[in-house]
Chains A and B, each alone.
Chain A
Amino acid sequence: MTILILNKEMMPVVKEQDVVPFRNRVKEYATKIGMGLVNQTKLITAASELVRNMLKYGKGGKVYIEVVSKGRENGIRLIFEDKGPGIPDVSLAMKDGFSTGKSLGLGLPGTRRLVSEFDIQSVVGEGTTVTVIKWKNG
């Protein structure tokens, strides 16, 4: 089934202070489509992880916040786009506990568990794009 974009907005995220306003924006959209509190919390937590990765590893970038629909289901799609160094081995990066930043290595695998749909594209030397969708009831 095709996914329709009902609304689209772009936010640059280039510094730590951009994180909280970005999260608030995601929350506004999620509230607007009537997403429940638990799904909202999962979506915003996932968004927070991905935006931190973008800042820490991707030198910042931009995020598209979209209201999308598939059939009767509405949802929020977030596209995180950076022009950082890229990820040499994406399947390794998706493993629980893998980190090149001496961290917990939870961000990517944890995010995948929190959202309804997850996609990551990365090219070394060109950048990384992570796309997630959380359906209102998903």
Chain B
Amino acid sequence: MEKIPILRMGPFLLVTIQVDLYDRLAENLEADLVQMVSKTGAMGVLIDISAVSIIDSFMGRIIGNIASMSKIMDAETVVVGMQPAVAITLIELGLPLKGVQCALNVERGMDLLRAKIALNEGTPDDYFDTE
């Protein structure tokens, strides 16, 4: 069966959604991600949706669920790369996407995650500067 790959990038998990999700695939992703967060102790989850052309209330709920479940396991979620047409549509649809932060691209998403984690733990920002 088709599966959406989850990549590990240091303290974060990166999920790149390339296909338009159908329900089963989306629900599996939700379960897989939660399992990965608990297995790896990841501190953040990046969901790259730059290839996604449609977000309806179902998809929105999946993203919201991932964010709230990750939060329970002490990981932050950031959605990156939302297409402008998708963003405009989401607002008119009225989907709240509660607890979900957005960033323009993966790099900015990582910056945002680092900042949030530093804030949560009260550690200085340069804690993650390993380059």
Contact = CB atoms under 8 A, between A and B. Distances in A.
A23 B23 CA distance: 14
Interface in B79-93: 83-86, 88-89, 92-93
Q: Tell me the interface secondary structure of chain B in the complex.
A: helix
B65 to A, nearest CB: 12
Interface stretch (B48-56, B67-75, B116-124): B48-56
A17 B95 contact: no
Nearest to B84: A38
A37 interface: yes
Contact of B57 (A19, A40, A42, A103): A103
B92 A42 contact: yes
A19 B92 CA distance: 22
B88 A96 contact: no
Contacts, number: 68
A41 B53 contact: yes
Question: Which of A17, A45, A103, A114 has the most chain B CB atoms closer than 10 A to its own CB?
Answer: A45
Nearest to B21: A20
Given A19-B22, A106-B95, A110-B94, A49 B57 contact: yes
B125 interface: no
Q: Tell me the interface secondary structure of chain A in the complex.
A: helix
A16 B23 contact: yes
A48 B56 CA distance: 7
Contacts of A40: 85
A52 interface: yes
A13 to B, nearest CB: 13
Contact of B89 (A20, A45, A104): A45
Contacts of B128: none
Contact of A44 (B54, B84, B92): B54
Contacts of B84: 38
B85 A38 contact: yes
11 contacts: A17-B22, A20-B22, A41-B88, A41-B89, A44-B54, A45-B56, A96-B94, A106-B93, A106-B95, A110-B93, A114-B92
Given A19-B22, A104-B96, 20 more contacts: A19-B23, A23-B20, A23-B54, A37-B85, A38-B88, A41-B53, A42-B88, A42-B89, A44-B54, A45-B93, A48-B54, A48-B56, A48-B58, A52-B58, A104-B57, A104-B95, A106-B94, A107-B57, A113-B94, A114-B89
